[in-house]
């Protein structure tokens, strides 16, 4: 419950910013939907109008990145191309078009004593976003927090510091031009890692921390934060092809889940095939996977059916490849498939292909994942695909929100009770 | 993500228990409502049948407590009277009668591409309860976790170790007699505090920690847990009497909020009175408070109206007395009342007494508390009063659940998506 924690100048400055965010949170919490939407559209406009400014600032990051020997894929993530600047602006306008979750009253009931109790959706308060490399997160995350009535404290990766600061400045200007306090959006403008550690202890000022980045970042945040954290971790996703599956459908779904975008968290990493269809199913799907550039790693039984596969190790079952690699295992039953998923999976997104309703029921009940699919690709685990409009991430934890998180998941409720002089006996 | 953390024998034993809980969580998650209710009724029966056994074990704790010089109020909390044993059994039977939140499907939608997406309520998994002194928490908390399909790891206070262990043993026997694994209910049978610290690092085995006890315990848990925590902290609750209030109603509500049960978290600690009604309101309510044994501490202006009050210090506004003490402040406006509550309150439960709907609206919007009351006593902030049937506690945090938490709040959802060969373009 302390908001001190560190006496350095840097720490003091960061804490001042978080205090301002907490103060400003009260203003954005009660701002009208119209005012919030106007500010979001203004953010989009300023980003487009200041394309040249953004390019100059982004160039500084790219040059520093080249000097520091960043990999080409990291440099690619860092770059604010014209298309990406357009996408940021589009994203903000889309958020403006989404329904406002704040203020909705629901679960109204009149108690036997006449007390009327209901819930009202309210913002979480101040959301801390700690993220890496991609500068577009600055606009995307701030836009979602803003629309859901929250103040936000942004702490981006050091590689993108100039780009992030530039975007944050434009967002703040837009907020101010709409007549709201620019303190609603705070950007921690330092590459010093101390700032992250100071931030993680401010449970009196920040209500929730959302880390977005690699395993190391998320682990560091979870281990050091005294603030509640919403984690977005690995996706070790499976597709299980049941004995009654339409094998043509299973092939199409498996290929889509693996190949369409292998670098994302909802791509498939392991294909499980029931022994009774393995010989009919695996040769064709493996041929097509290989043709699409997928490296195959199989269990012993699958390697007896399809020659030329590398053996899959215990480690393979636990690995999120983020790449064109697939592990394959033959199982004797749906229960064995569920057991494999529960043992090695990450409770993210898993699918069954089956014609049998009872199999579908057993699978969706037995697999404890945030998204369970029947006859569909795991790639659908996504806020847009679920109609949330946008997503701040895909929660892999069980508290508060699971799976794709949209605006509603950036809010909570309070109870409002209306009496007429009610007292407790 | 590690479940080691400590190599001592005690740590290894505790970790084995948590592993068994995680394994058993899969069984209770899919148990039928009937089977769970049967086990709950069996728990109640065994507690009543083993009254003598409980009394013997409880006596060991009471004797040790007296030897260790526990205060009479702590000894009182510790005692398992006949009435309290009855109440534990009644509580378990009531939980059996509550609707089962698990398995409910909702928010069903058919996406434009034909994918059918819905949510299903599922248990959180393994819930860790870390609690102090009162042995009835063993039965109450375990019953709620069990009905909501969760395994539970109980770690009670050292003063009640024999009573807690005895109750836990009866609960496990009941579970086993119903044909379920007794590993669903785990009790950490040691007074060594190391066990708590080991428990707090098992994020691979426990899904959420609910601490129930004093400030020190809750702070320790929040600072050391790598597992998400649901906090139940202070209630610094206010009643604000608006300028349009029915003063008779305001007096009745204020007295009820302060006097009816001053030791609980939803009792009022500070009374705020609008300046325009202060002279008409304060003398009478203060007289009645004093007659009820309440010590009054006032701001300067209230002391000019009512003589004989001690002065309230800055510290008073921040204090949860848990006792027959009340601080009183005169404010010039509803906004000043809101400002006071937001500055000094604990966001638990606060009330306005007013005849004006617009004042009620401004107050309920401006006060960021888990329960906001209009013309009712703050004492209604309670799971039973809100129709939740029972409560595991009153959350004072913003993530997952706010205010009184019932069975539903011990569950979360997963997304289930039904396709027909759907792939992502």
User: DSSP assignment of B94-142, as one string?
Assistant: HHHHSPP-TT-EEEEEE-TTS-EEEEEEEE-SEEEEEE-S-THHHHHHH
Q: How far apart are CA A88 and CA A65, in angstroms?
A: 22
Residues on chain A touching B415 (C-beta within 8 angstroms): 370-372, 381, 386, 402-404
On whether the CB atoms of residues A128 and A199 are closer than 8 A, the answer is: yes
Between A252, A398, A423, which is nearest B423 by CB?
A252
ipTM value of the model? 0.92
Q: How far apart are CA B309 and CA B328, in angstroms?
A: 9
Place of tokens 């603030």: A227
Place of tokens 């509500």: B253
The average pLDDT across A60-79 equals 94
Between A366, A416, A424, which is nearest B256 by CB?
A424
Alpha-carbon distance A291 to nearest alpha carbon in chain B (angstroms) = 19
Is residue A6 predicted with pLDDT exceeding 60?
no
DSSP for A269-304 reads EEEEEEHHHHHHHHHHHHHHHHHTT-EEEE-HHHHH
pLDDT of residue A4: 44
Q: How far apart are CA B57 and CA B212, in angstroms?
A: 22
Minimum mean pLDDT range among A211-225, A314-328, A346-360, B95-109: A211-225
B416: contact with A, CB 8 A cutoff: yes
On whether the CB atoms of residues A151 and A207 are closer than 8 A, the answer is: no
Between A115, A124, A398, which is nearest B208 by CB?
A398
pLDDT digits (tens, 9 = 90+) for A273-286: 999 999 999 999 99
Nearest CA-CA partner of A276 in A347, A332, A349: A332
Q: Which A-chain residues 143-172 have CB contacts (< 8 A) with chain B?
A: none
pLDDT digits (tens, 9 = 90+) for A40-59: 999 999 999 999 999 999 99
B383: contact with A, CB 8 A cutoff: no
Residue A137, phi then psi, degrees to nearest 5: -60, -35
Q: How far apart are CA B147 and CA B104, in angstroms?
A: 14
pLDDT of residue B163: 98
Q: Which A-chain residues 6-45 have CB contacts (< 8 A) with chain B?
A: 26, 29-30
A348: contact with B, CB 8 A cutoff: no
pLDDT of residue A197: 94
Residues on chain A touching B399 (C-beta within 8 angstroms): 124, 207-208, 228, 230, 399-400, 412
pLDDT of residue B3: 43
How would residue A7 be classed by pLDDT, with cut points 50, 70 and 90?
A: low
pLDDT of residue A222: 85
How would residue A161 be classed by pLDDT, with cut points 50, 70 and 90?
A: very high
- Cα nearest neighbour of B386 on chain A: A117
Q: Cβ A403–B415 below 8 Å, yes or no? A: yes
Interface test with chain B among A380, A402, A404, A408, by most B beta carbons within 10 Å: A380
The average pLDDT across A214-237 equals 88
Please give the model's pTM, rounded to 2 decimal places: 0.91
pLDDT of residue B350: 98
Place of tokens 């400014």: A53
B422: contact with A, CB 8 A cutoff: yes
Q: Cβ B228–A260 below 8 Å, yes or no? A: no
pLDDT of residue A226: 86
The average pLDDT across A343-360 equals 97
Q: Cβ A424–B365 below 8 Å, yes or no? A: no
For A345-408, where are the alpha helices, taking DSSP H only? 357-366
Pairing of strands B185-187, B151-155: parallel
The average pLDDT across A325-351 equals 97
Residues on chain B touching A377 (C-beta within 8 angstroms): 419, 422-424
pLDDT of residue B7: 67
pLDDT of residue B213: 86
pLDDT of residue B8: 87
Query: Whats the size of chain B, residue-wise?
Result: 425
Tens digit of each residue's pLDDT, chain B (425 residues): 344 445 688 899 999 999 999 999 999 999 999 999 999 999 999 999 999 999 999 999 999 999 999 998 889 989 999 999 999 999 999 999 999 999 999 999 999 999 999 999 999 999 999 999 789 999 999 999 999 999 999 999 999 999 999 999 999 999 999 999 999 999 999 989 899 999 999 999 999 999 998 889 988 998 888 888 998 888 999 999 999 999 999 999 999 999 999 988 999 999 999 999 999 999 999 999 999 999 999 999 999 999 999 999 999 999 999 999 999 999 999 999 999 999 999 999 999 999 999 999 999 999 999 999 999 999 999 998 998 877 898 998 899 999 999 999 999 999 999 999 999 98
Q: How far apart are CA B403 and CA B391, in angstroms?
A: 10
B99: contact with A, CB 8 A cutoff: no
Q: Cβ B253–A109 below 8 Å, yes or no? A: no
The average pLDDT across A233-239 equals 92
pLDDT of residue A108: 97
pLDDT digits (tens, 9 = 90+) for A112-150: 999 999 999 999 999 999 998 789 999 999 999 999 999
């Amino acid at each position: 419950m302390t908001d001190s924690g560190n006496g350095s100048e840097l720490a003091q400055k960061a804490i001042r910013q978080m205090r301002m965010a907490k103060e400003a949170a009260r203003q954005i919490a009660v701002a009208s939907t119209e005012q919030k939407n106007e500010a979001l559209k203004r953010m989009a406009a300023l980003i487009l109008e200041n394309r040249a400014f953004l390019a100059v600032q982004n160039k500084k990051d790219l040059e520093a990145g080249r000097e520091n020997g960043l990999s080409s894929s990291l440099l690619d993530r860092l770059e604010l191309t014209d298309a990406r600047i357009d996408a940021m602006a589009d994203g903000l306008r889309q958020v403006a078009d989404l329904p406002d979750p704040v203020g909705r009253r629901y679960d109204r009931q009149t108690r036997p004593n006449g007390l009327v109790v209901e819930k009202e959706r309210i913002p979480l308060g101040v959301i801390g976003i700690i993220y890496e490399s991609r500068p577009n997160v600055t606009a995307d995350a701030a836009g979602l927090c803003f629309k859901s009535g929250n103040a936000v404290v942004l702490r981006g990766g050091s590689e993108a510091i100039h780009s992030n600061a530039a975007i944050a400045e434009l967002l703040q200007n837009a907020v101010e031009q709409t007549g709201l306090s620019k303190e609603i959006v705070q950007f921690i403008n330092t590459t010093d890692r101390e700032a992250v550690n100071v931030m993680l202890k401010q449970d009196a000022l920040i209500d929730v921390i959302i880390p977005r980045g690699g395993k190391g970042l998320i682990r560091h945040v979870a281990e050091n934060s005294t603030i509640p954290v919403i984690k977005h971790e690995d996706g070790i996703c499976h597709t299980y092809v049941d004995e009654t599956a339409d094998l043509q459908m299973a092939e199409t779904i498996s290929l889509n889940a693996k190949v369409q975008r292998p670098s994302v968290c909802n791509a498939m990493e392991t294909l499980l095939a029931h022994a009774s269809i393995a010989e009919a199913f695996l040769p064709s799907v493996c041929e097509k996977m290989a043709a699409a550039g997928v490296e195959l790693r199989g269990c012993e039984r699958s390697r007896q059916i399809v020659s030329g596969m590398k053996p899959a190790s215990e480690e393979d079952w636990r690995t999120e490849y983020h790449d064109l690699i697939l592990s394959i295992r033959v199982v004797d039953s749906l229960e064995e498939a569920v057991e494999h998923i529960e043992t090695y999976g990450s409770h993210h997104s898993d699918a069954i292909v089956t014609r049998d309703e009872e199999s579908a029921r057993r699978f969706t009940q037995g697999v404890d994942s945030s998204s369970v699919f029947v006859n569909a690709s795991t790639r659908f685990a996504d806020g847009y695909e679920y109609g949330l409009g946008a997503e701040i991430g895909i929660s892999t934890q069980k508290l508060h929100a699971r799976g794709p998180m949209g605006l509603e998941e950036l809010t909570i409720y309070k109870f409002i009770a209306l009496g007429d002089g009610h007292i407790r006996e």
